[in-house]
């Protein structure tokens, strides 16, 4: 099949032949978005056959914390302290965002995620109906949240509740199994206790997720103790926010008891090592404590203004290196575990049905180049993928049984780059005349 004939972003029956899985040559049959068989097969009746000789097959990566449309803010404000970065640069620019900006920013982000092997992401931002348009056109999976910031006023709280319900309705109406909705209370320092409680109750009533920032900085912890007399995780738990459907981003400053609490509630901690290092949060996520407490640990990039890319291969490496550096223990978070955090754990947290290459799992699969510098020599597959390669190693991306990138080709790439670049320039121009 030539590149022109690939039915991009359409579920197809696919036969992947001769791929390498855990060091063995294998075929994989995909039908109706599900992996049907793994192992040599004589069947040849698929709509699409991919000869993957020379490629490694692995589960697609899952980004559990981002603000996709912030791709338009890549490089806009770097090398600043978190609070000043947000209040002096990011929020004043975001005040000029339009729905079209979020559409093109999210298209750009999806393009980057697909190119680097990500098949699902957890997103919190504004104008999320337009983000949903972009996500559907890209074909990737996403869990979308309206970023709920009420700044402790009743008027704003009412508006944020309305916006959250409207987004939920919008996503339900699309009837797209790759799209889901979560409540998005931004953080305990931007959302009132009433707002938090409303989010918690809504999530129980409608069985949906919650996406929140937690314990990113020491100041957040100190302020929480000073104001409420308890640490952030206990405060959020008292308001019903810590559930098995919650993804808490950052979690750098959790203490051991808070790690236990996340374990008890089965709340996922989304680790964002690049963003934490760039914004100089000062503490690495307490990975061992979270693991000992059986709390799920997943991987995110955060937005492009604090990363500045969405490449989860880079993030897996940074997660492993940061733990080793911070704990002075080179045995902590080995490569195979980092891969699992970036794939299986994220898939479980977002309930994609994928994350494993085995029959019955969602066909969220990527093919990566084995004939390349970062894979030579090939002593250890996990080591190469985590420590040596980055997202450029990805050749083909399949999500929900649909091909999104084949042989490094993604439809409409040039047009998306052009439109997103123009949207970013216009956004900054609007801010500068204001």
Distance (Å, rounded) from C-alpha 404 to C-alpha 178?
13
186 touches, from Zn ion, ligand LTUXU72L, none (C-beta below 5 to 8 Å by class): ligand LTUXU72L
The smaller minimum CB distance to ligand LTUXU72L, of residues 29 and 65, is found at: 65
Under a CB-based contact definition with an 8 Å cutoff, are residues 35 and 359 in contact? yes
List 55, 123, 302, 337, residue binding Zn ion (CB under 5 A): 302
250 is in an annotated binding site: no
379 is in an annotated binding site: no
Closest CA to 6 of 397, 338, 284: 397
96 is in an annotated binding site: no
If binding is defined by CB under 6 A, does position 308 make contact with ligand LTUXU72L? no
Q: Minimum Å distance from CB 275 to Zn ion?
A: 7
All residues at 6 or more sequence positions from 50 whose CB lies less than 8 Å from its CB, including other chains: 14, 15, 16, 17, 367, 396, 406
226 CB burial (10 A radius; 0-12, 13-18, 19+): exposed
302 is in an annotated binding site: yes
**∠ Cα 267 359 40 (to 5°):** 145
Q: Minimum Å distance from CB 128 to ligand LTUXU72L?
A: 9
271 is in an annotated binding site: no
The smaller minimum CB distance to ligand LTUXU72L, of residues 94 and 133, is found at: 94
Phi, psi of 253 (to 5 degrees): -100, 20
Distance (Å, rounded) from C-alpha 329 to C-alpha 325?
7
Distance (Å, rounded) from C-alpha 286 to C-alpha 235?
19
258 is in an annotated binding site: no
If binding is defined by CB under 6 A, does position 94 make contact with ligand LTUXU72L? yes
If binding is defined by CB under 5 A, does position 289 make contact with Zn ion? no
Distance (Å, rounded) from C-alpha 374 to C-alpha 361?
29
If binding is defined by CB under 6 A, does position 111 make contact with ligand LTUXU72L? no
The smaller minimum CB distance to ligand LTUXU72L, of residues 135 and 339, is found at: 135
The smaller minimum CB distance to ligand LTUXU72L, of residues 144 and 368, is found at: 144
If binding is defined by CB under 6 A, does position 188 make contact with ligand LTUXU72L? no
Phi, psi of 254 (to 5 degrees): -65, 140
Tell me the site size for ligand LTUXU72L, rule CB under 6 A: 16
Closest CA to 396 of 33, 49, 24: 49
If binding is defined by CB under 6 A, does position 124 make contact with ligand LTUXU72L? yes
If binding is defined by CB under 6 A, does position 315 make contact with ligand LTUXU72L? no
Count, residues in the chain? 434
Residues 209-248 that bind ligand LTUXU72L (CB under 6 A): 213, 216
Distance (Å, rounded) from C-alpha 128 to C-alpha 282?
32
213 is in an annotated binding site: yes
11 touches, from Zn ion, ligand LTUXU72L, none (C-beta below 5 to 8 Å by class): none
List 17, 67, 211, 239, residue binding ligand LTUXU72L (CB under 6 A): 67
**∠ Cα 266 269 275 (to 5°):** 175
List 28, 90, 110, 362, residue binding ligand LTUXU72L (CB under 6 A): 90
Closest CA to 363 of 374, 371, 355, 373: 355
Closest CA to 243 of 212, 268, 264, 267: 267
The smaller minimum CB distance to Zn ion, of residues 220 and 302, is found at: 302
Please spell the DSSP secondary structure of 209-248, one letter per residue.
EEEEEES-SHHHHHHHHHHHSS-HHHHHHHTT---TTEEE
55 touches, from Zn ion, ligand LTUXU72L, none (C-beta below 5 to 8 Å by class): none
Neighbours of 190 (CB within 10 A): 16
Q: What is the DSSP letter of 5?
A: G
List 296, 303, 355, 381, residue binding ligand LTUXU72L (CB under 6 A): 303
Binding residues for substrate: 94, 186, 216, 302
Binding residues: 65, 67, 94, 186, 213, 216, 302
Footprint on this chain of ligand LTUXU72L (rule: CB under 6 A) = 67, 86, 90-91, 94, 124-125, 147, 149, 186, 213, 216, 275, 302-303, 306
Binding residues for Zn(2+): 65, 67, 213, 302
Footprint on this chain of Zn ion (rule: CB under 5 A) = 302
């Amino acid at each position: 099949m030539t590149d022109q004939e690939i039915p991009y972003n359409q579920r197809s029956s696919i036969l992947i032949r001769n791929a390498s899985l855990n060091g063995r040559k294998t075929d994989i049959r995909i039908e109706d978005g599900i992996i049907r068989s793994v192992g040599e097969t004589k069947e040849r009746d698929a709509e699409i056959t991919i000869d993957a000789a020379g490629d490694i097959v692995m589960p697609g990566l899952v980004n559990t914390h981002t603000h996709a449309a912030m791709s338009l803010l890549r490089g806009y404000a770097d090398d600043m302290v978190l609070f000043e970065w947000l209040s002096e640069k990011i929020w004043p620019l975001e005040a000029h965002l339009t729905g079209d900006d979020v559409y093109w920013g999210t298209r750009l982000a999806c393009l980057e995620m697909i190119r680097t092997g990500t098949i699902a992401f957890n997103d919190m931002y504004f104008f999320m109906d337009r983000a949903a348009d972009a996500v559907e056109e890209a074909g990737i999976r996403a869990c979308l949240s309206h970023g709920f910031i009420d700044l402790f006023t009743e008027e704003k709280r009412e508006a944020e509740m309305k916006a959250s319900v409207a987004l939920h309705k919008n996503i339900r109406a699309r009837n797209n199994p790759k799209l889901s909705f979560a409540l998005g209370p931004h953080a305990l320092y931007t959302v009132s206790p009433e707002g938090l409680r409303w989010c918690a109750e809504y999530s129980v009533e409608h069985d949906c997720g919650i996406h929140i920032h937690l314990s990113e900085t020491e100041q957040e912890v100190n302020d929480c103790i000073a104001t409420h007399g308890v640490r952030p995780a206990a405060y959020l738990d008292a308001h019903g926010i810590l559930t098995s459907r919650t993804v808490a981003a950052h979690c750098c400053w959790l203490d051991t008891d808070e790690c236990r609490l996340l374990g008890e509630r089965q709340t996922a901690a989304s680790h964002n090592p690049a963003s934490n290092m760039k914004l100089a949060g000062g503490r690495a996520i307490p990975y061992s404590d979270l693991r000992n407490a059986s709390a799920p640990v997943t991987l995110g990039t955060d937005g492009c203004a604090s990363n500045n890319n969405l490449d989860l291969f880079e993030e897996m490496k940074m997660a492993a290196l940061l733990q080793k550096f911070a704990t002075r223990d080179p045995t902590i978070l080995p490569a195979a575990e980092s891969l699992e955090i970036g794939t299986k754990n994220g898939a479980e947290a977002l309930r994609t049905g994928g994350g494993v290459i085995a029959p019955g799992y969602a066909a969220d699969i990527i093919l990566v180049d084995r004939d390349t510098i970062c894979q030579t020599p090939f002593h250890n597959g996990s080591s190469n993928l985590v420590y040596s390669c980055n997202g450029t190693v990805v050749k083909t991306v399949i999500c929900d049984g649909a091909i999104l990138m084949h042989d490094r080709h993604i439809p409409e790439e040039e047009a998306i780059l052009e439109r997103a670049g123009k949207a970013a320039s216009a956004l900054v121009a609007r801010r500068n005349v204001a």
